[in-house]
Amino acid sequence: MRDVAIIGIGLSRWGEIWDASLRTLWTEAALAALDDAGLDHIDAITVGCMSPGLFIGQEHLGGLLADELGMAGVPATRVESACASGGVALRTAFAEVAAGLADVVLATGVEKMTDVSGDECTAALAAAADAEVEVFPGATFPALYAMMARAHMARHGTTREQLAAVAVKNHRHGSLNPHAQFRQQISVADVLASAKVAEPLNILDCSPITDGAAAVVLADLATAKRLAKGRPIVRIAGVGQASDRMALQSRRDMTTLPATTAAGERAFKMAGKAPVDIQLAEVHDCFTIAEIVVLEALGLCPAGQGGLQAESGRTALGGALPVNPSGGLKSKGHPVGATGVAQAVEIVTQLRGAAGPRQVPGARVGLTQNMGGTGASTVVHILEVAS
């Protein structure tokens, strides 16, 4: 298996983008990544996208977007794994290059979520839950994550203020990111006073509806060294993916994420690293409780102590383990199919030392964790500066 590096990164505009279509946003990100890599050709394309049929009435994205990029004829494949679609698209591209099926692959993610009503968007997102035993009886994702939060609070003493501290931290980080959808800082009091969604979660505990795209160019290490242009080469050192039972009610413990733990263990083993080696992470904070349980599941903090991490400052910029320096899903935004790829864009930016005011000093090893639903699918990537 060949070593694989990320040699180009790109993002489109993120937010409620009324003047651009899915294909336009995707092409913005793809062209930016190709320009960053210094390439005008690729061997293959992967597209992470959760629900284009429900959001914009368009399926068959691979062929559509290859043609939009002026690369009709290049193999192009859409990948779906709910909100983990982008991360799985990155893993798929990694596997192609590692196996020698291609030398240069464009891995992308995209979602256009604001072209439908709020109710239609909620219904599209609900398709990532168990339709028969969760959606039909009326459960929504805020309600499911609220149950996880209540269980975590009861078992570990996690407080409402600790949940709010996650949102406060990530908005502070997002205020430094020109790509973030919401760049205003907030306080714990703001979170606690915001509108109720599903007890104990308020609106400021929830990630927003977002339009956007992200792209990275992957290449074998020999090609990466040839095209490095004096920049640090960022290697994908480890990859792990796992799944779990779909319905939250079917799991033994709703305060843990077994698929995230398994995916993390596989990625750490492949990379030859341990949680203590991680210097920064981008994780799936679709709700504030999600960041807390993900950190525990990955072994980045002890079980039951996830609530202390943001509150203590450990996971803030300047702390021992900055988490979501981009602002995360909470502040940067969450165009569901694009999120996993955008996480990799942030880690590469950090490892290149190019993150500006949100730079983590001396960062050489980073992690991304992207999951679908309430954790029924998870993919983890470990990235490092190649020696």
Contact criterion met (CB below 8 Å) for 170 and 183 = no
Going by pLDDT thresholds of 50, 70 and 90, the confidence category of residue 387 is: confident
Query: What residues contact 203, with CB distance under 8 A and at least 6 apart?
Result: 194, 195, 196, 197
Q: Give φ, ψ of 351 to 5 degrees.
A: -70, -20
Domains 4-117+209-226 and 125-207+236-385 share a fold: yes
Phi, psi of 331 (to 5 degrees): -110, -45
Is the model's pLDDT at 18 over the cut of 90? yes
With a cut of 90, say whether residue 55 has pLDDT above it.
yes
* Predicted TM-score (pTM) of this structure: 0.98
Give pLDDT, residue 352.
98
Determine contact, residues 356/175, Cβ cutoff 8 Å. no
Burial tier of 194 (Cβ tally within 10 Å: 0-12, 13-18, 19+): middle
Residues near 42 by Cβ (< 8 Å), separated by ≥ 6? 34, 71, 74, 104, 105, 106, 217
Report whether pLDDT(49) > 90: yes
- Given the residues 49, 83, 206, 301, the one annotated as active site: 83
pLDDT at 365: 98
pLDDT, tens digit, for every residue of 305-345? 999 999 999 999 999 999 999 999 999 999 999 999 999 99
- Supply the pLDDT for residue 208: 97
94-109: buried (b, 16+ CB within 10 Å) or exposed (e) per residue? bbbbbeeebbbbbbbb
Read off the amino acid at residue 154. Answer: A
- Pick the catalytic residue from 156, 171, 334, 381: 334
Helix axes 141-156, 288-297, angle to 10 degrees: 60
Q: Which residue has tokens 């109720």?
A: 196
Sign of CA dihedral 188, 192, 197, 198: positive
pLDDT at 230: 87
What is the bridge-based pairing of β-strands 196-198 and 201-202?
Answer: antiparallel
* Highest CATH level, class, for 125-207+236-385: alpha beta
> Domain 4-117+209-226: which CATH class?
alpha beta
> Tell me: the pLDDT tens digits for 60-84?
999 999 999 999 999 999 999 999 9
Residue ranges of the domains in the chain? 4-117+209-226, 125-207+236-385
User: What are φ and ψ of residue 70, in 5° steps?
Assistant: 80, 25
pLDDT, tens only, 161-194: 999 999 999 999 999 999 999 999 999 999 999 9
DSSP state of 275: G
Q: 228-276, pLDDT tens digit by residue?
A: 888 999 999 999 999 999 999 999 999 999 999 999 999 999 999 999 9
Q: Could you tell me the pLDDT band of residue 108, with boundaries at 50, 70 and 90? A: very high
Average model confidence (pLDDT) across the chain: 97
Is pLDDT above 90 for 364? yes
User: What radius of gyration do the chain's Cα atoms show?
Assistant: 19
Asked whether the predicted pLDDT for residue 125 surpasses 90, the reply is yes
Query: 307 phi and psi, to 5 degrees?
Result: -65, -25
Single-letter amino acid code for the residue at 314: R
Q: What is the pLDDT of residue 26?
A: 98
Predicted pLDDT of residue 229: 81
381 is catalytic: no
Of all helices (H) and strands (E), which one includes residue 94? Answer: helix 85-99
Q: Is 179 a catalytic residue?
A: no
Asked if 218 contacts 9 with a C-beta cutoff of 8 angstroms, the reply is: no
Per-residue pLDDT, 252: 93
